[in-house]
Amino acid sequence: MIWLLAAFLPASSIALSRVYLTAHWPTDILAGALLASLVCSVSLAITQTKHPIATLSKRHWQIILPVLLVSFTVLVSWNLSIALQLYAY
């Protein structure tokens, strides 16, 4: 369940920013998310049938998730003001 959160936060932030900056319609974002979910689900199902993947322990996720969140926050805030100025009207 935690891996869903680790994948959902950056993906939803990027999707919302694309709609906010009027680069895409909300339906484009929804279609892309559904397509990505389908491709990931099929590839995971194929992988799991041939080589089952062991799950990470809760302790590992308690280390990985904060590192992912901090690194994502740093990367987003690094040039956010410059990026927003590029899309200013």
SS3 at position 56: coil
Whether residue 23 is predicted with pLDDT greater than 60 in this model: the reply is yes
Residue 77 and residue 74: Cα distance in Å, rounded? 5
Predicted TM-score (pTM) of the model is: 0.52
38-60, pLDDT tens digit by residue? 888 888 888 888 888 788 888 98
Whether residue 18 is predicted with pLDDT greater than 60 in this model: the reply is yes
Residue 29 and residue 26: Cα distance in Å, rounded? 5
Residue 8 and residue 14: Cα distance in Å, rounded? 10
Residue 69 and residue 73: Cα distance in Å, rounded? 6
Whether residue 66 is predicted with pLDDT greater than 60 in this model: the reply is yes
14 in Cβ contact with 72 (< 8 Å): no
